[in-house]
Amino acid sequence: MKIITASKLITVSLLALLVCSCSRSASLSVKVNGSEIRAVGAGAEYCKGRLHILGGFNPTMNTILSVYVKASTPGIYPLNSIDYDMGSYAGYSLYENTTSTNFISNSQYTGRIQITKLDTVSKRVSGTFEFDAAQILPDEMKFGTRIIHVTSGKFSNIPIEDTLKLDLAE
């Protein structure tokens, strides 16, 4: 079993953010510790048999939210495993200058995602989610005591791409 590390989460998320789509129909919003934020870009892809939903926040996209879920149909799925190859989990990363602060759900700090629409013909996904996540310490193998609460997560009409692109919000 491989455990996801902060550097893998950062690398995957940053690579995905580099390729952007200009469609204006997708939306993603969340409350992080009670403060609502809306994504300026959102996208999805299937990766290793899991649906990966990604949102970039603020104009420089230095705040990133990722959700990986093993889902091929609408339904409610737990976010509680950080096994990189098989798990369903959520991550939240903040980037400032050359440093990052990364949070990830795990078996202790869990959440759920509800896929309400998964259209494989038009390749769009919609739903809701919430999760708690612990900070990943710099040694990348331990969790810290700092916790975030992500609530009221909503995503609508997110395009599912073969190669992840972000659908920029208006």
Domain holding 132, by residue range, is 6-168
CA dihedral 44, 45, 48, 54 (to 10 degrees): -30
**Contact, 58 vs 29, CB < 8 A?**
no
**Contact, 92 vs 32, CB < 8 A?**
yes
pLDDT score, position 164: 53
Nearest to 134 by CA among 112, 100, 153, 109: 109
Question: What are the beta bridge partners of residue 77?
Answer: 113
pLDDT score, position 59: 66
User: What is the largest distance, in Å, between two alpha-carbon atoms of the chain?
Assistant: 43
- The contacts of residue 12 (CB under 8 Å, 6+ apart) are 52, 66
pLDDT score, position 20: 39
What token pair was written down for 92? Answer: 């939240």
pLDDT score, position 84: 66
CA 132 to chain centre: 13
Residue 100's φ and ψ, nearest 5 degrees, are: -135, 150
Residue 1 included in any domain: no
What token pair was written down for 105? Answer: 């759900």
pLDDT score, position 163: 59
pLDDT score, position 67: 92
In this structure, the number of other CB atoms found within 10 A of the CB of residue 141 comes to 10
Please count the structural domains in the chain. Answer: 1
pLDDT score, position 17: 41
pTM: 0.80
pLDDT score, position 143: 85
Q: Which residues of the chain have pLDDT under 50?
A: 1-23, 166-170
Nearest to 46 by CA among 105, 120, 133, 138: 120
